[in-house]
């Protein structure tokens, strides 16, 4: 592919983000909701992104998919499979999204087209990207619906979204996103709509299908139990910035950032597969403002020091671990 930029040459990762920021324009001003995020993801890897509501998780994923609202724009680079997603023209982006890059949306109640049979909605991607005849695509679709345990799949494929419960619709979304066998799946809280008792089951199902096709996953979740169970790595997002990032195992057992520690300290049992929403930390989350020079978490941080007026860069603090905090002395 495009091997002219040195960035690409050096990169063997499936996805690498360099200083990805998302800004929204409004009333002459501009808000930054994702702030210089850099990350890498290897093929087949599962990366968890945690952070409280409003920390920019969804907008980060939308930026990759080219789905930001019309007043939004993304800067930086997002190299996926050798192409910079952020600078691709729509036509080229449309060869990537829905084919090698797909997404499960947060709100299953409204994410499906109410006027189309779900079978057709699933088949559409296969017909468009893989040139399958309609009948074959529909057969594939109903096979996939069966795999996500939708009862009586061939019949269900002929139904409309309003005939399904929220949980069933979320399964439909999962089936739709995985049907095209993407290289990377962006899953935005894929199990929030589900009954707590079956969240784990559906998540495992999603993981199982993804493993078969070698699909890497970015999983946005509020659930640290889920992170512990299925993620290889985890990034903690706060106020649009990555605070800490590393292998799930070591990060969860030994978090360094005060925010990450706060998250874990208030999580009762990490082993439990199911925990409710993220625990609360005193103070209010930073609402996206202009790119602040200070650490966004400082106002709520119990370890605040004068240096926090300048946001520290994300630096390596051990094997594969990165942290953006003044607490940890530079090695």
The correct pick among 13, 18, 24, 128 for binding ligand ATP (CB under 6 A) is 24
Contact region with another protein (CB under 8 A), list: 37-45, 105-113, 285-293, 298-306: 105-113
| Cβ neighbours of 151 (radius 10 Å) | 9
Identify which of 299, 269, 200, 236 has the alpha carbon closest to the alpha carbon of residue 47. 236
Minimum Å distance from CB 71 to ligand ATP? Answer: 5
Q: Residue 36 or 57: which CB sits closer to ligand ATP?
A: 57
Contact region with another protein (CB under 8 A), list: 3-11, 15-23, 62-70, 304-312: 62-70
According to DSSP, the residues that pair with 15 across neighbouring strands are 41, 80
Minimum Å distance from CB 128 to another protein? Answer: 5
Q: Does 80 bind another protein (CB under 8 A)?
A: no
d(CA 51, CA 222): 7
Q: Does 181 bind another protein (CB under 8 A)?
A: no
Q: Does 128 bind another protein (CB under 8 A)?
A: yes
d(CA 44, CA 277): 27
Structure tokens at 176: 């739709």
Contact indicator for 184, 190 with CB cutoff of 8 Å = no
Minimum Å distance from CB 121 to another protein? Answer: 8
The correct pick among 2, 6, 12, 69 for binding ligand ATP (CB under 6 A) is 69
Contact indicator for 98, 180 with CB cutoff of 8 Å = yes
Q: Answer with the entry of Mg ion, another protein, ligand ATP, none that 125 interacts with (C-beta below 5 to 8 A by kind).
A: another protein
d(CA 289, CA 294): 11
d(CA 50, CA 53): 9
Q: Does 65 bind another protein (CB under 8 A)?
A: yes
Contact region with another protein (CB under 8 A), list: 107-115, 131-139, 230-238, 277-285: 107-115
Three-class SS of residue 205? helix
Structure tokens at 188: 């935005």
Q: Residue 103 or 203: which CB sits closer to Mg ion?
A: 103
The correct pick among 16, 32, 58, 83 for binding Mg ion (CB under 5 A) is 58
Which strand (E) or helix (H) includes residue 241?
Answer: strand 241-247
Q: Residue 48 or 258: which CB sits closer to Mg ion?
A: 48
Supply the DSSP string of 100-147, one letter for each residue.
Answer: TEEEE-S-TTTSS-TTS-HHHHHHHHHHHHH---HHHHHHHHHHHHHH
**Interacting residues of 131 by C-beta distance below 8 A, sequence separation 6+:** none
In the window 105-124, what residues touch ligand ATP (CB under 6 A)?
Answer: 106
Minimum Å distance from CB 65 to another protein? Answer: 6
Q: Does 191 bind Mg ion (CB under 5 A)?
A: no
d(CA 312, CA 326): 6
Q: Does 289 bind ligand ATP (CB under 6 A)?
A: no
Minimum Å distance from CB 241 to ligand ATP? Answer: 12
Which residue reads 């990555």 in tokens?
242
**Which residues here bind Mg ion, judged by CB under 5 A?**
58, 106
Residues contributing to the site for another protein (CB under 8 A): 65-67, 69, 90-91, 93-99, 102-103, 105, 107, 110-116, 124-125, 128-129, 160, 162-163, 173
Chain residues that interact with ligand ATP, rule: CB under 6 A = 24, 26, 31, 33, 51, 53-59, 69, 71-72, 106, 287-288
């Amino acid at each position: 592919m495009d091997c002219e930029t040195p960035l690409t040459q050096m990169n063997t990762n499936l996805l690498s983000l360099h200083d990805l920021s998302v800004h929204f324009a409004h009333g002459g001003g501009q808000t930054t909701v994702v702030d210089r995020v850099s990350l890498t993801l290897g093929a087949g890897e599962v990366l968890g992104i945690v952070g409280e509501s409003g920390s920019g998780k969804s907008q980060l994923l939308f930026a990759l998919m080219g789905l930001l609202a019309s007043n939004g724009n993304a800067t930086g680079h997002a190299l996926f499979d050798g192409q910079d997603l952020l600078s691709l023209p729509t036509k080229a982006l449309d060869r990537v999204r829905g084919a090698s890059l797909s997404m499960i949306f947060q709100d299953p109640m409204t994410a499906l087209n109410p006027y189309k049979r779900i079978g057709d909605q699933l088949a559409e991607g296969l017909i468009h990207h893989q040139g399958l005849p309609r009948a074959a695509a529909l057969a594939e679709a109903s096979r996939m619906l069966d795999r996500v345990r939708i009862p009586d799949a061939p019949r269900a494929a002929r139904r409309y979204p309003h005939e399904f419960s929220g949980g069933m619709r979320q399964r439909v979304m999962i089936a739709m996103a995985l049907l095209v066998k993407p290289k990377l799946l962006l899953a935005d809280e894929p199990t929030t709509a589900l009954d707590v008792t079956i969240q784990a089951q559906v998540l495992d199902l999603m993981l199982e299908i993804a493993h078969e096709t070698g699909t890497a996953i970015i999983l946005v979740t509020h659930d640290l139990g889920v992170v512990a169970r299925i993620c290889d790595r985890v990034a903690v997002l706060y106020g649009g910035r990555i605070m800490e990032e590393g292998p799930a195992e070591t990060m969860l057992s030994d978090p360094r950032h005060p925010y990450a520690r706060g998250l874990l300290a208030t999580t009762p049992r990490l082993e439990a597969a199911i925990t409710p929403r993220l625990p609360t930390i005193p103070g209010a989350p930073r609402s996206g403002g202009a790119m602040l020079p200070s650490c966004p978490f400082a106002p709520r941080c119990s370890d605040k020091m004068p240096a926090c007026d300048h946001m520290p860069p994300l630096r390596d603090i051990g094997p594969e671990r990165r942290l953006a905090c003044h607490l940890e002395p530079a090695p």
